A and B are shown apart, each in its own frame.
Chain A
Amino acid sequence: SAVISQKPSRDICQRGTSLTIQCQVDSQVTMMFWYRQQPGQSLTLIATANQGSEATYESGFVIDKFPISRPNLTFSTLTVSNMSPEDSSIYLCSVRQGRGYGYTFGSGTRLTVV
């Protein structure tokens, strides 16, 4: 299965600033997915990132707040912009292993906004 390197693993940020999270996959994948996990909650899909096209955002998430880049088939970034304490969460990237084979997840970025 794919191996995903995600960084930073954690960060504490001031409100109003932005943080960019990086995900590197050891193989080429068509789609990469970004999830948010708020404290004590389940995972919520933020967006799907395809290489060479704009990311597709889920309801409640907008590009201005969570811009995503996908410059090639092995790399993606998610930026959390103009952060507030409500953005404190774990952010995870993932890739699909193949039809029905589930997802592999990065190790997550634990973000605390103060």
Chain B
Amino acid sequence: AQKVTQAQTEISVVEKEDVTLDCVYETRDTTYYLFWYKQPPSGELVFLIRRNSFDEQNEISGRYSWNFQKSTSSFNFTITASQVVDSAVYFCALSGVTGNQFYFGTGTSLTVIP
């Protein structure tokens, strides 16, 4: 069965602190894709990153970085030097190779305190 678990429901950090959002997934597929989305208070979903199962290279984009480890079925997301604008709900998601099924985690609500 496909499943995405985000064990952290809510996190609060003080501005400029680093924060890591955890994502653990389950899948029987050998080829799959992992995603992170950001949902600010306005409600829209903003795509952040896609990673395929054959690429375990970590990625950094500005203050954002992602750590993909197949051995532990994890795809964690780190924000460095957090800012108030990072306050949002962050969703990790999983899809199979066809992309017709998309599984979201329950989300982690991040609050950055000024």
Contacts and interface: CB of A to CB of B under 8 A. Distances in A.
B107 A42 contact: yes
B107 A100 contact: no
A45 B106 CA distance: 13
Interface size class of A (residues with CB under 8 A): 20 to 34
B43 A107 contact: yes
B97 A42 contact: no
Nearest to B52: A100
A15 interface: no
A41 B106 contact: yes
Interface string B100-114: 101011110000000
A14 interface: no
Interface of B: 33, 35, 37, 42-45, 47, 50, 52, 91, 93, 95, 97-100, 102, 104-107
Interface of A: 1, 31, 33, 41-43, 45, 48, 90, 92, 94, 96, 98-108, 110
23 contacts: A1-B47, A31-B100, A33-B102, A42-B91, A42-B105, A42-B107, A92-B45, A96-B100, A98-B99, A100-B33, A100-B50, A100-B52, A100-B95, A102-B35, A102-B47, A102-B50, A102-B99, A103-B102, A105-B37, A105-B44, A107-B42, A107-B43, A110-B43
